[in-house]
Amino acid sequence: MNKSYLDNNATTPLLPEVVEVMHRCLAEDFGNPSSGHSHGEAARRRVEKGREQVAGLLHCAPDRVVFTSGGSEANCQAIFSAVMARPGGRHIIASSVEHPSVLAPLEFLRQQGYEVELLPVDQAGRLDMALLENAIRPETVLVSLMAANNETGVLWDVAQIGSICREQGVLFHCDAVQLAGKEEIRVEEWPVDYLSLAAHKLHGPKGCGALYCRRSAPITPLVMGAGQENGRRAGTENVAGIAGFGRACEEAAGYLARGGRASMDELGRRLEEGLFTALPEVRINGEGAPRLANTVNVSFEYCSSAQMIQDLDDRGFAVSAHAACHSGDLDPSPVLEAMAVPETFRHGTLRISLSRLNTAEEVDALLAVLPGVVNNSRQGFV
């Protein structure tokens, strides 16, 4: 049975080019990048080339890139760097639909006496910029808002958010984990102080990420030790992971330069239009808002997400209901709850997320089996 992987917002398959460079690193460039001999120098070159490749995707200077263990660490480092730089500021702004790797550290800070204000979204998942502007106070230390929602794909105007923060003198952190490799990022042209990435969301390896830090923004290491990453993150670097991350970023930059965004838009439109044709009663969450071309979050009334996911998996299709970090959670998504999706739809939600490795044939094959899967789930749910 052919397998179709359609859960690319959870993680992506490694590109062959990424596997190749990582294999060479593991086999040949095994030295410690901090060592002074030739083995260490070879490993150091791998790290710095990876940094240049990540910076190339972001259109920034390489020295602005700090390697981390992933997007979660990058998010935490940005948040705690801003908080520690201004101990007198006790107010933080985020949104009700942020990733848990943002909401969890904010909840920790709330327990330490910080006031965390979570801005609401409308039924399409859009953010009201006037609410953001009015929420910022003299004691606001940080605004942390994502670029693209990991569940619905809804996009927010990062440049506008950054401009509002810059005008009021507040640091701005952007979780761009889902945006990278799918849309153009020119981080030096955005009023962004911190921006987070994860390699495994753009066909790179798990366990490697990066934090962009503007030159004027304060940064404090979460991991302390011998002072690697110019004192911004201690610990011997993950050389093979960084090399794979860098190559994945280089491939993503080439994909975007070749017009990959347009081809993904066509594939995503084929999926969405096919859903409405096959199952006219569906609800596309985020419809009407700007969204990532690869992401369709669809709800079916009186259905069970868990049953549909299992039935599709049995038929060779991998999809999810919401964020992978909640995959074992039977409760409906907090993101959909924040968007006021009716409860009769919330329980029957699928997140179908494509990558540039997917094909029109895979989309058509999914559309062919989905009506039967939905009807089977509905009969068991009612």
State the 10-residue block means of pLDDT for the chain, 382 residues long. 93 98 96 96 98 98 98 98 95 98 98 98 98 98 98 98 98 98 97 98 98 98 96 97 98 96 96 96 97 98 96 98 57 92 95 98 98 91 56
pLDDT for position 381 = 57
Whether 208 sits among the annotated catalytic residues: the reply is no
**Domain hosting residue 349, numbered range:** 4-12+259-381
Residues 36 and 142 both lie in one domain: yes
Enter the pTM of the model.
0.96
Mean per-residue pLDDT of the chain: 96
Q: For 125-162, how does the pLDDT look when each residue is reduced to its tens digit (9 = 90+)? A: 999 999 999 999 999 999 999 999 999 999 999 999 99
pLDDT for position 379 = 83
Residue-by-residue DSSP string for 122-165: -TT--B-HHHHHHH--TTEEEEE--SB-TTT-BB--HHHHHHHH
Structural domains of the chain, count: 2
The alpha carbon of residue 347 and the mean position of all alpha carbons in its chain are separated, in whole angstroms, by: 23
Residues 312 and 215 both lie in one domain: no
Residues 121 and 93 both lie in one domain: yes
pLDDT for position 369 = 98
What is the CATH number for 42?
3.40.640.10
C-alpha dihedral sign at 31, 37, 42, 47:
positive
Residues 264 and 344 both lie in one domain: yes
| Burial bucket for residue 63 (CB in 10 Å: 0-12, 13-18, 19+) | exposed
pLDDT for position 280 = 92
**Burial 316-337, CB ≥16 within 10 A → b, else e:** ebebbbbbeebeeeeebbbbbe
Please say whether the beta carbons of 246 and 50 come within 8 A: yes
Q: Would you tell me the crossing angle of helices 360-381 and 260-278 to the nearest 10 degrees?
A: 40
Neighbour count for residue 46 (Cβ, 10 Å):
23
pLDDT for position 2 = 80
Q: Would you tell me the crossing angle of helices 100-111 and 71-85 to the nearest 10 degrees?
A: 30
Among 165, 174, 208, 325, which one carries the catalytic annotation?
325
As a whole number of angstroms, the distance between CA 116 and CA 127 comes to 17
DSSP, res 92: E
pLDDT for position 328 = 47
Looking at 222, 256, 290, the residue that finishes a domain is 256
Residues 249 and 272 both lie in one domain: no
Looking at 221, 256, 291, the residue that finishes a domain is 256
